[in-house]
Amino acid sequence: MFHRSRYRTAVVAAGVLALALGACGSGGGSSNGQDLSGNRVGAMSSYNVGDQFKATEALSFSMLYNNHPNYPLKNDWLFWSELTKRTNVSIQQVAVPLSDYNQKRSVLVSAGDAPFIIPKTYHPDENAFISSGAILPVSDYIDLMPNFKDKMTKWNMKPEIDTLRAADGKFYLLPGMHERPWQDYSLAIRTDIMDQLKLSVPKTWDELYTVLKAMKTAYPTVYPLSDRFSKPTPGGNLFNILGSSYGAPGGWGYNHATWDADAKKYFYTGAGEKYKAWVTYLNKLVTEGLLDPESFTQDDDAARQKLANGKSFVISTNAQTLVNDYRPDLAKTIPAAKMVKIPLPIGPAGEVNPSSRLENGIMISKKARESKNFVAMMQFIDWLWYSDAGQEFAKLGIEGVTNKKDSSGKPVLADDVNVVGLHPNASKHLQKDFGFYNGVFAYGGKPELVQAFFSPEEQAYQAVVGVRKPAPWVTPPPAPFTDEEREQAALWETGLKDYVFQQTLKFILGQRPLSEWDAYVKELESKNMTKYMDLVNKAYDRYKQANG
Amino acid sequence: MVTIDSGLKDLRAARPRRIRLSKGYRVFQVVNGIVLTAVVVLTLYPFINIVARSFSEEAYIIAGKVNLVPRGFDLRAYRLVLNDELFWTSYRNTVVYTFVSTLIAITLTTCFAYVLAKKHLKGRNALIGIAVFTLVFQPGLIPNYVLVTSLGLKNTIWAVALPNAINVFNLLVMKTFFENLPVELEEAAAVDGLNTYGILLRIVLPLSKAVIATMVLFYAVTFWNSWFGAFLYMDRLDLFPVTVYLRNLLAGATGADFMGSAPGDVVQSAATIQAVTIVLTVVPILAVYPFVQRFFVTGVLLGAVKG
């Protein structure tokens, strides 16, 4: 992990250097005006919400393609031919293995060799490329994208999108958008054990403690909770969902500065009282033998093996791992076992949904702006990724081939097509054979679309968790850094994050007593925590003054 | 019969004396044997485990029951991987890339090393200096990428074969080897009327089989295992070597980086499929080793120790 991040830093550094040199040569002549008269070739003169985009002449755009090992790219997919038929556009893919997508993206953007369309980019990855000027401030061009604008206003996405803005007030990533936040990750519990011990499904983390305690009493040799998703980030999921319910997410969701909506200010996450509260909770679980201390070092397979062999009863899950991993594993080892994903337990932060409504997004290469087909390209992107028709096409495919209308007129998967195990005996696969429901093109959208392939069980889960109100810290007020600030912050962040993660584990595992918490906060201060927070607050004030 | 028996008796009688002479050595041998056996076990175990996994049923792997022997013998994973067109395309690419790259590399390295071994060559130290310089100072990733791209090598085999054609370490080993060949042989050949190329082709190379075989092995293994160059310079699936295919399969297996993405996006390739792909990728290059083994030790030692 360290090696990789160091490498990435090196890549980015080299890229910045290369671009700095390049920029000197070209003199940065192009003004960023809105004069698009020379870029309208192939574009529709009138294109609005509800219109089918079709280029007036055959066009082709280059695009970075994240190749998924489960459905390797095929050029004869129905997706490609139908897309061209409908839009008159063909996509030239630059295929990159999923395993190293981010690295190749860095190299291509830094070397000035990036394709026009760069999808599958997770905020804040795009920040690394802003200062070099290699990617387009897309916020300047959303007038070309009626569907994007429509969804942004209709779904009230402005607060979320504001979190993407850079110090210049622009955003550089076209994000995927969910109408409602979708919380997938939670815990899975062996309900047969709970029935046997006459326990009910825990609604809060405190109730979970009681359940774990009862399990431990009945099975003293077992660690009731032995977790997975700890590589490369220890406690990746657990620290995230638990921390979220305390208002200070850790693990995957760790941000250095977290917004405190009550106090109306940012605090340093790893030093806050909320963070300490959940660390204390986990420390209690470990001390009482309820949580396997190996949870934070073992790989996923080890955790799965413990669960499959009845050495643990509770584990992190999402809808897929429950169906693909735990249930099949248990069916072979402990056939009587029953496993259920429980609604995300509630903590001191109340009934909140800690998921963001933003998805990964698309960067546009600056070169594309010079293309005579630029307007057509933006219209094309708008149709495919943001229109209802485009989203439905990318996910569900074509009516009569991959989907059919059910009695209520809602499109459902055709009988002879399989995806996510819905029709296990079908001869064809929606992703592998047709190229639909492709992670590059299909994400977000209306709840009906997001939940199109959900099992009844998962829909029931969403009915409980989906109605919780969005957590306030998910859409904090913008506090964007300038380029220099970001560079400075990045230097401090590495040291701080390593230290916070390392000490978090020590506190949880009891290797360091919680009475030393204040000393730990002092140590963070010596690692520039205070200066870092000054930087965040400065950026917050600056943005507030400039934008009201 | 009698004589043989008595001969054996003599031998037996003679034995203890020799052992007494080498008691310390015997202790060393025992310890050595134990340590080396442990090393063998340590290196072989993961390997055999992967092979066992590849023949096992998924459930046994998940339950952690597969160690050295396959459990629930199952060939479905092999059938699945062997029926995957993309796997074979990648495999063919690997074979072609390895063959061509090794051929180019060994030719260039031999020629360069032979020239450098000639002490009377003018500017020899400068040439060595240039080679060693690249060993110490490596160009960055981006300049390399820009260079390869602007030479028009992207999406061709040359992007993989040319940038790594001369490995400086191999070059120095070969140079040392050539320096140690008796000068008299070459002088005699020259007297007999051979020119420089004749000497190289007909006298030096036939005497250098050991080092060349070793270098071929070094290069072939490196090219077979390499993935980064192809990953960087290739934009199409049908150009990737099998290592990239394998890496995508394995590295994608932990979906942590992709949380929050569409559910179908979380990668779950079965443990057996991974094992099968690993086995199929490793076996060919492994099969080459025994045949080159006999050159191997002499080749490297000749270069290194005498130099």
Mutate to test the interface with B, among A75, A94, A100 (most CBs of B within 10 A): A100
Contact A447, A181 (CB under 8 A): no
Q: Assign residue B251 the CATH number of its domain.
A: 1.10.3720.10
Looking at the DSSP bridge assignments, the partners of residue A225 are A291, A314
Distance, in Å, from the CA atom of A197 to the CA atom of A301, rounded to the nearest integer, reads 28
Burial A280-315 (b: 16+ CB within 10 A, else e): ebbbebbeebbbbbebbebebbbbbbbbbbebbbbb
**Lookup result for tokens 């980019």:** A121
Contact between residue A82 and residue A438 where contact means Cβ atoms under 8 Å apart:
no
Q: Do B135 and B231 reside in the same domain of the chain?
A: yes
Same structural domain for residues B180 and B284? yes
Give the C-alpha separation, A468 to B264, whole Å: 25
The token duo for A109 is 């953007």
Tens digit of each residue's pLDDT (9 = 90 or more) over A83-109: 999 999 999 999 998 888 989 999 999
Write out the DSSP string of B68-109. Answer: SS-SS---HHHHHHHT-HHHHHHHHHHHHHHHHHHHHHHHHH
Q: Are residues B146 and B23 in the same domain?
A: no
**HSE-up of residue A488 (Cα within 13 Å, Cβ side):** 13
Q: Is the dihedral of CA B118, B119, B123, B128 positive or negative?
A: positive
Q: How far apart, in whole angstroms, are the C-alpha atoms of residue A371 and residue B158?
A: 31
Burial A69-97 (b: 16+ CB within 10 A, else e): bbbbbbeebbbbebbbebbbbebebbbbb
B236–A contact, CB cutoff 8 A: yes
Beta carbons of A11 and B265 less than 8 Å apart: no
Q: What is the reported pTM?
A: 0.82
- Unique residue bearing structure tokens 């050029």: A75
When pLDDT is averaged across residues A480-502 and rounded to a whole number, the result is 92
Asked whether residue B21 falls in the same domain as residue B138, the answer is no
* Shared-domain flag, residues B28 and B87: no
Q: How far is A34 from chain B (nearest CA, A)?
A: 31
A89-97/A59-67 β-pairing: parallel
> d(Cα A498, Cα A342) in Å, to the nearest integer?
31
Residue that terminates a domain, selected from B32, B48, B74: B74
- Same domain for B148 and B253, yes or no, is yes
pLDDT, tens only, A523-536: 999 999 999 999 99
Query: Phi first, then psi: what are they for A77, rounded to 5°?
Result: -60, 145
Flag if A320 and B266 touch (Cβ within 8 Å): yes
Compute the count of residue pairs across chains A and B with CB atoms less than 8 Å apart. 143
User: B129: distance to nearest CA of chain A, Å?
Assistant: 26
Mutating which of B151, B236, B259 best tests the A interface, going by the most A Cβ atoms within 10 A? Answer: B259
Radius of gyration of chain B (CA): 26
Measure the CA–CA gap between A495 and A170, rounded to whole angstroms. 29
In this complex, do B59 and A329 lie within 8 Å of one another by their Cβ atoms?
A: yes
The string of pLDDT tens digits covering residues B274-293 is: 888 888 888 888 888 887 77
Tokens 């009945």 locate to A218
Give the end of a domain, one of B34, B55, B74.
B74
| Rg (chain A; Cα; Å) | 25
> Given B52, B74, B96, which residue is the final one in a domain?
B74
Q: Pairing relation of β-strands A265-268 and A257-260?
A: antiparallel
DSSP state of A60: E
For CA atoms B254, B258, B261, B267, give the dihedral sign. Answer: negative
**CB contact B268 to A (< 8 Å):** yes
User: For residue B136, what are the domain limits?
Assistant: 79-306
**Which residues are CB-neighbours of A143 under 8 A, at least 6 positions away?**
A149
Residue of B nearest to A299 (CA): B254
Measured between beta carbons, the chain A residues lying within 8 angstroms of B266 are 318, 320-321
Both B238 and B295 in one domain: the answer is yes
Q: How far is B273 from chain A (nearest CA, A)?
A: 12
Q: Is A323 helix (H, G, I), strand (E, B) or coil?
A: helix
Nearest CB among A17, A98, A107 relative to B252 is that of A98
Query: B254 and B128: one domain?
Result: yes
Angstrom distance (rounded) from CA B241 to CA B220: 14
Same-domain status, B60 and B159: no
pLDDT along chain B (307 residues), means of 10: 50 53 83 94 91 84 81 83 88 94 96 92 92 88 92 94 90 90 90 91 89 89 91 92 86 44 44 84 84 70 48
Of B173, B185, B209, B184, the closest CA to residue B300 belongs to: B173
Using CB atoms and an 8 Å cut-off, which of residues 200-219 of chain B contact chain A? Answer: none
On the question of pLDDT at A120 being above 70, the answer is yes
What mean pLDDT comes out for the span A131-140? 92
Distances (CA, A) of A80 to A98, A418, A435, B59, B72: 20, 19, 8, 37, 41
What is the DSSP secondary structure assignment for residue B259, as one 8-state letter? T
Query: By the 8 A CB rule, do A101 and A95 touch?
Result: no
ipTM for this prediction = 0.77
Distance in Å, alpha carbon of B91 to nearest chain A alpha carbon: 15
Clarify whether residues B164 and B224 are in a common domain.
yes
d(CA A512, CA A503): 8
B134 shares its domain with B154: yes
Domain count, chain B: 2
- Contact between B251 and A231 using a beta-carbon 8 Å cutoff: no
The predicted-structure confidence for A143-179, as pLDDT tens digits, reads as follows: 999 999 999 999 999 999 999 999 888 999 999 999 9
The Cα–Cα gap between B99 and B163 comes to 15
Q: Residues of B with CB below 8 A from A185's CB?
A: 259
For residue A231, give the amino acid letter.
K
* Residues B15, B108 within the same domain: no
The CA distance from B247 to B50, in Å, is 16
pLDDT at B21: 57
